Chains A and B, each alone.
Chain A
Amino acid sequence: CFCRVLKFWPLSFLWSKLSTCEQLGHRLRHLQVISSNKKAQSQTQLMRKANIFVSLLIDVALGMLLMSWLYRKNRIGHLADTLIPVADHVAEELQDLLQWLMGAPAGLKMNRALDQVLGRFFLYHIHLWISYIHLMSPFIEMILWYVGLSACLGLTVALCILSDIIALLTFHIYCFYVYGARLYCLKIYGLSSLWRLFRGKKWNVLRQRVDSCSYDLDQLFIGTLLFTILLFLLPTTALYYLVFTLLRLLVVIVQGLIHLLVDLIDSLPLYSIILRLCRSYRLAAGVKFRVLEQQDGKPLRLLMQINPLSYGSVVRTYRLPTYSCYPKDSWTSLCKKLFLGELIYPWKHKGEKQD
C-alpha cells in the first residue's frame, strides 16, 4: 500500500530523482524475499536468499559502525560547521569564474554585450543561491543529526544520502548547465538550418534529405542577417556552454563513483565467497577421480574429489541483481550529444535486472 501511494505524481517524481529512495526500495524488496514463507525451490534460490541475508547484515553492521563514529566527539557539529563555508567557497569560486569569462578569457574574442548579459544573469543566480544557503544555515546541524540516524539502515543508504546531498548542494551548477546547453542547442540548430538557407537548400522532412529550394527575396534577406548574427555570437555561447558542461561532468563523475561503490556492496555475494573459503565442497564445478588401488583381479577403487568453483565464477554466478546504473550511452553518442548541446544524463537507472 505504501508503494501505491508513491504512484501519485509529485511523490513518484521525487522518488525517481533521489537515489536514497531507490536504495531503500531495493532493500525493502530484499527483505520481502527473505521473509517470505515459501521454501527455496532450488539451490540458486537458496544461495540468493543466503547472500541477501548476509549482505544486509554486513551493510547494517557497517552502517552502525559509521554511526557510532559520527556521533562520537560531536563530529556532526563539526560537519555542519564546515558545510556552510564550503558552500560559500564554491559559490565564490563560481563568481570568480564568471568574472573571468566576462573579461577576455584565455585571450578569446567575446562579444561584449552578450557576454555581459549572460554573465550578469548567472551572477544573479549565484547570489540567490548564497542567500538560500544562509537562510538554511541554522537548521543544518539538526537536519544532519536526524539524517545521520538513517545510517543504521545500512552503509549503502548512508552513501546514497551523501550522493543526494552532493546533488542538492550543486543544484545551481545543474541549472547553469541546463541554461547553457539549451541556448547552445538552439544556436546550433538555428545555424545549421540557416546555413542550408545560405546555400539555397532546405531539409526535406518527407524524404529525410537536403534538397534545393528557391526562396523568396525577403526570406533570403532575413535568413542571411540572422545567420551572420548567430555566427558571430557563437564563440561566446560556446565558451559558456563548455565551462558549465565541464563543471557538470565533474559532479556527475563524483556521483557515479559513489554509486559504483554502492553497487559493489549491493551485489557482492558474500555468503557464497565465505562458503567457497570454508566449505568449498558445497560449490562444485565438477569432479575429479584419483586411483586408490589398482591390483590385478581386484576391482578398481577410485576416490572422487570435488573441484571447487574458482572465485571469479563464484562471484559471476551468484551475483545479486541490482538496479545498476551504468552509462547508457556509448562514447561516440555521448560526444555527439555534447557537441549538439543535448542534455546528458549519463547514469540512468535501469529497472531491476531479471535473471
Chain B
Amino acid sequence: RWQKVLYERQPFPDNYVDQRFLEELRKNVHARRYRYRAVVFQSGAVVQQLCSVCVFVLTWWYMDAGMLSPQGLFGAALVSSLLGYVLFDAVDGGAGRRESGRTRWADLKSTLVFAAFTYGFSPVLKTLTESISTDTIYAMSALMLLGHLIFFDYGANAAIVSSTLSLNMAIFASVCLASRLPRSLHAFVMVTFAMQIFALWPMLQKKLKAQTPRCYVGVTVLFALAALVGLASVSSVGAVLFASLLLTISCICPYCLIRLQLLKDNIHGPWDEAEIKEDLSRFLM
C-alpha cells in the first residue's frame, strides 16, 4: 500500500496519485449559520444610530429656523434624561450600578461639571466659526457625523471600532453646527442635547438590549418612526430616502448576508498554519 512518507522506498513512481488524495480536506469548518430574526434584531443597533443622527440634525434645523425655542428643547431633554436615568437603574434592578461602584453623587458632580463648563464656554463657542463659510461648516459636520457612524461600537469586535473617536467626532460636529445658531443660549442647549443623544442614549439602549429584548425592539421602531415623521415635515424626498435606507439595513442586508453564506468556500486541512490554543501567560515572568 502507498504510504504518505518520503523516507521509505516504495514500489510506486514519484508522481503517483493515490485515491486517498485530499481526504483530509474540510470545507467551511468555521462557517456560522445565521438565523434571520437574530440578524435583524442585531441590526437594530445600526438603525438606532442612524436615527440618532437624523434626530439631532432635525433638532438643529428646527432651532435654526426658529420653530423650536431653546428653553423648550432644554426642558424636554431634561425630562427625558431624568426618565432615562431612572430607567437605567430600574431595568436590571441596580446590579450594574453595584458592580461598577459609581455613586449617584459622582453622577451629579459630572453633570454639574458639564453644565458649568458648557455654559461658561458657550459665548466662545458661539463666535468660533464666524469667519468660516457656511458650506465649509456643513461639509465638516457631515464628515464628522459620517465618521461617528463608521467608528461607533455596534458590538462587533473589529479593529476599526473606537468608541472614543466616534463620540469625539460627534461632539466636534455638534460644536460646529451649534456655532451657527443665533445666540449663545442656543449653542449651550444644542451641545448639551448632543451630549445626551450621542453619549447617554446608546448606554441606555445597550442595557435595554441586554435585559429586555422585546422592549428594545419596540423602542427602536418608535424612534425610527419619530425620526421619519420629523424628516417628513422638513422634506418628503428625504423622508422617503431615509425610510428606504432603514429598510435596506434592517431587512435586506440580513437577507443578503444569509444568502451569501452559501457561497462561502473556505478549505481547511493539515497544511494550515499551526494555531496555539493554549494559554501562554503562564510562561510570562
Contact = CB atoms under 8 A, between A and B. Distances in A.
A225 B117 contact: yes
Interface string A287-319: 000000000000000000000000000000000
A169 B176 CA distance: 45
B150 interface: no
A198 B176 CA distance: 16
B224 interface: no
B207 to A, nearest CB: 15
Contact of A220 (B113, B164, B176, B191): B164
Contacts of B171: 220-221, 224-225, 228
Contact of B165 (A110, A200, A217, A229): A200
A215 B164 contact: yes
Nearest to B109: A218
Contacts of A110: 131
A196 to B, nearest CB: 11
Contacts of A222: 113-114, 117
Contact of B164 (A200, A218, A227, A229): A200
A170 interface: no
A109 B124 contact: no
B175 A225 contact: yes
Contacts of A274: none
A111 B179 CA distance: 13
A112 B164 contact: no
A232 interface: yes
A210 to B, nearest CB: 14
Contacts of A198: 164-165, 168, 172
A214 B163 CA distance: 10
Interface in A163-207: 197-200
A227 B172 CA distance: 9
Nearest to B128: A232
Interface string A102-114: 0000000111110
B195 interface: yes
Nearest to B118: A225
B236 interface: no
Given A198-B165, A199-B164, A217-B110, A228 B172 contact: yes
A111 to B, nearest CB: 7
A281 B180 CA distance: 86
Contacts of B172: 198, 224, 227-228
Interface in B162-217: 162-165, 167-168, 171-172, 175-176, 191, 195, 199
A112 B77 CA distance: 33
B162 to A, nearest CB: 6
A142 B15 CA distance: 111
A224 to B, nearest CB: 4
Interface in B98-119: 110, 113-114, 117-118
B128 A228 contact: yes
A111 B127 contact: yes
Contacts of B130: 111-112
A113 B127 CA distance: 8
A218 B121 contact: no
Contact of A199 (B117, B118, B165): B165
Interface string A228-246: 1100110000000000000
A217 B199 contact: yes
A218 B110 contact: yes
A109 B113 contact: no
A112 B131 contact: yes
A112 B127 contact: yes
Interface string A95-133: 000000000000001111100000000000000000000
B164 A221 contact: no
A214 B162 CA distance: 10
B163 to A, nearest CB: 8
Contacts of B129: 232
Contacts of B175: 224-225, 228
A19 B206 CA distance: 70
Contacts of A199: 162, 164-165, 168
A281 B151 CA distance: 84
B121 A111 contact: no
Nearest to B124: A229
A109 B128 contact: no
A225 B121 contact: yes
B168 A220 contact: yes
Interface centre among A199, A214, A215, A228 (most CB of B within 10 A): A228
B6 interface: no
A238 B196 CA distance: 35
A233 B129 CA distance: 9
Contacts of B113: 218, 222
Contacts of B191: 225
Interface string A15-37: 00000000000000000000000
27 contacts: A111-B128, A111-B130, A112-B131, A198-B168, A199-B165, A200-B162, A200-B164, A214-B164, A218-B110, A220-B168, A220-B171, A221-B171, A221-B195, A222-B114, A223-B168, A224-B168, A224-B175, A225-B171, A227-B168, A227-B172, A228-B171, A228-B172, A228-B176, A229-B121, A229-B124, A229-B128, A232-B132
Interface of A: 109-113, 197-200, 214-215, 217-218, 220-225, 227-229, 232-233
Given A215-B164, A221-B114, A227-B172, 10 more contacts: A111-B131, A112-B127, A214-B164, A217-B110, A218-B110, A221-B171, A225-B117, A225-B125, A228-B125, A228-B175
Nearest 3 A/B pairs, CB to CB: A200-B164, A109-B131, A224-B171
